[in-house]
């Protein structure tokens, strides 16, 4: 039986095949899909997202590139350095290269090693440790 996260973003995409190819290149696995709906459920190290080709069922307005303006999807990866190098070797284009950022949560300062990239529709993906 599959475990579903409590929060799973679903991204509307312009071309399901192109998006699936991109996410598979990033290392995501297709856990299941409904080809008739042009839908796929993807997972990478417990990070879950759904992608579905635009069908005007979920859209509140017409989408324009880059999709997802104002949001980035933050995903934790077990070995961020190795993952970054793997994507770099595959000639993935980065929106922001690997960097270390410091974030305060109440009185604690956390360091995140992270990088960002955009999917084919412009959704911003942030991978961190």
CATH number for the domain that contains residue 75 = 3.10.180.10
Give the domain extent around 102.
Answer: 10-56+67-128
Query: Could you tell me if residue 1 is inside a domain?
Result: no
Residue 47 has pLDDT above 90, yes or no: yes
**Beta carbons within 8 Å of 49's beta carbon, 6+ residues apart:** 8, 9, 10, 11, 23, 28, 42, 43, 73
Q: Residue 129's pLDDT is what?
A: 95
List pLDDT tens digits, range 100-124. 999 999 999 999 999 999 999 999 9
Query: Could you tell me if residue 90 is inside a domain?
Result: yes
Q: Comparing 63 with 35, which gets the higher pLDDT?
A: 35
95 preceded by cis ω (within 30°)?
A: no
Residues 117 and 126: beta-carbon distance below 8 Å: no
Mean pLDDT over residues 90-103, rounded?
96
Query: Could you tell me if residue 102 is inside a domain?
Result: yes
Q: Per the structure, how many domains does the chain have?
A: 1
Confidence at 81, pLDDT banded by 50, 70, 90: very high
Quickly tell me which residue has 């590139």 as its tokens.
65
Predicted structure pTM score: 0.92
């Amino acid at each position: 039986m599959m475990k579903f996260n409590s929060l799973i973003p679903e991204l509307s995409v312009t071309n399901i095949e192109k998006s699936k190819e991109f996410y598979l290149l990033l290392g995501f696995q297709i856990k299941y899909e409904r080809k008739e709906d042009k839908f796929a459920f993807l997972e990478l190290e417990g990070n879950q997202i759904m992608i579905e080709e635009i069908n005007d069922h979920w859209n509140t307005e017409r989408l324009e590139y880059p999709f997802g303006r104002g949001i980035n999807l933050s995903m934790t990866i077990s070995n961020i350095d190795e993952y970054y190098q793997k994507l770099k070797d595959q000639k993935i284009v980065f929106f922001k290269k690997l960097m270390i950022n410091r974030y305060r949560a109440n009185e604690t300062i956390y360091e995140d090693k992270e990088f960002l990239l955009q999917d084919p529709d412009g959704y911003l993906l942030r991978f961190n440790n």
